[in-house]
Amino acid sequence: MSHSHSHSHNHSHSHSHKDLKGRNLIITIFLNILITVAQAIGGIISGSLSLLSDALHNFSDVLSLIISYVATLLSKKKASVSKTFGYKRAEIIAAFVNSSTLIIVAIILIKEAVERFVNPVEIESNLVIWLSLLGILANGFSVLLIKKDAKVNMNMKSAYLHLFTDMMASVAVLIGGILMKFYAFYWVDPTLTILIALYLIYMGYDLLKSSTRVLMLFTPNTIEVQQIVSAITKIRPVKNVHHVHIWQLNEDEVHLEAHIDFDEDINLSEFDLILEKIEEEVYHKFGISHLNIQPEYGKCDSKKIIVQD
C-alpha cells in the first residue's frame, strides 16, 4: 500500500496571504453589522420593504461572513490523530450553509413582496435614499477587499456573492427611493424586493450544487475516471486498474485510490519506480495530488469492476 504526498509544495504557499484573508473578513463583518442595524431601523421607520429586505440580506451576510471566517480559521488547524484530515472541509460546509440560507431568505422576501403588491404602502423615501447609499459604499468596499480570494476559494466566493448581491440590491433600492421620492411610484419597492430575491436564488443554487458535490464525495466534474484508468494502464507492466475512488477533500486536494494488477511479480523497488510514473501522470494530466495504490499480482478478485463500493 503506497500513499504518496509528493507535490505537497503546492499547498504551502504564502501563509501571510491567509492571514490577510482573515483580516479582510473581519473588516467586512463589522461593516456589515453596521449596515444591517442602520437599514433595519431605517426600513421600519420608513416602511420600506426593499430596505428591510436589504437589511435582511445584509444580516445573512454577517452570518455567512462569520461562518466563512470561522471556516478559514478551522481550515488552518493541523490534522491530529482523531481528525486525520484536519478541518479541511470546514470551508466547504460553510459554502453549503451560506448558499442554502441565501435561498431561504430569498423565498421569504418574495412572499412579503407579493403581499405588498396587494396592499401598497406609502414610504418615507429620503431615508431609503440615504441608507441605500450607505449600503452601496460599505458593500462596495467589502467586495473589493475579498475579491481576490473569491476567485480561488469556494468559501470566500460564497461570502463575495453575498456582498456583491448586496451592493447591487442597495443600488436597486437607491433607484427605487429616487422614483418614490419624485414620482411616488410605491410599487417599485416590492418589485425590487422580488428581483433581489430571484437573483439570490439563482446565485445560491449554483454554489449549493458545487459544495454538495464535494460533500458527497462525488468525482470532480473535470475528471474522467475512464481516461485516468487508460492513462495508468499504458504504463508497463500494469495489467489493469480497478476499484477506483476519486474524491475532493476540499478545493485544493483531489484524492485517488485504486487497486492495480500487474503482469509480473515485481519487487518493491520496481513498484516504487512505477508508482512515481503513475504519480507524475495523474498529477500533471488530471491534477490529482494524493494517490493511494494497492498493488496486486494474480489475486483472485474481480478485475472487471472499475468502480466498486
**Grid cell 437607491 in the structure block, residue:** 174
Tell me phi and psi for residue 49, to 5 degrees.
Answer: -75, -35
Domains of the chain, start order: 12-215 (1.20.1510.10), 225-296 (3.30.70.1350)
Query: Residue 181 above 60 pLDDT?
Result: yes
Residue-wise pLDDT tens digits, 66-98: 887 888 788 778 888 888 887 878 878 888 888
Contacts of 234 (CB under 8 A, 6+ apart): none
* Number of Cβ atoms within 10 Å of the Cβ of 241: 22
What is the model's pLDDT at position 14? 46
3-state secondary structure 59-109: HHHHHHHHHHHHHHHHHCCCCCCCCCCCCCCHHHHHHHHHHHHHHHHHHHH
Q: How many helices (H) and strands (E) does the chain have?
A: 8, 4
Name the pLDDT band for 130 (thresholds 50, 70, 90): very high
- In this model, does residue 57 exceed pLDDT 80? no
Q: What is the pLDDT of the chain when averaged over all its residues?
A: 82
pLDDT digits (tens, 9 = 90+) for 194-221: 887 888 788 789 889 988 988 898 888 7
Look-up of cell digits 461562518: 67
Give residues with Cβ within 8 angstroms of 210, minimum separation 6. Answer: 95, 154
CA distance 255 to 69: 26
CA 279 to chain centre: 28
Q: Is the pLDDT of residue 304 over 60?
A: yes
Nearest to 166 by CA among 192, 148, 185, 140: 140
- The residue among 199, 248, 251, 204 whose CA lies nearest residue 64 is 204
Q: What nine digits make up the cell of 306?
A: 472499475
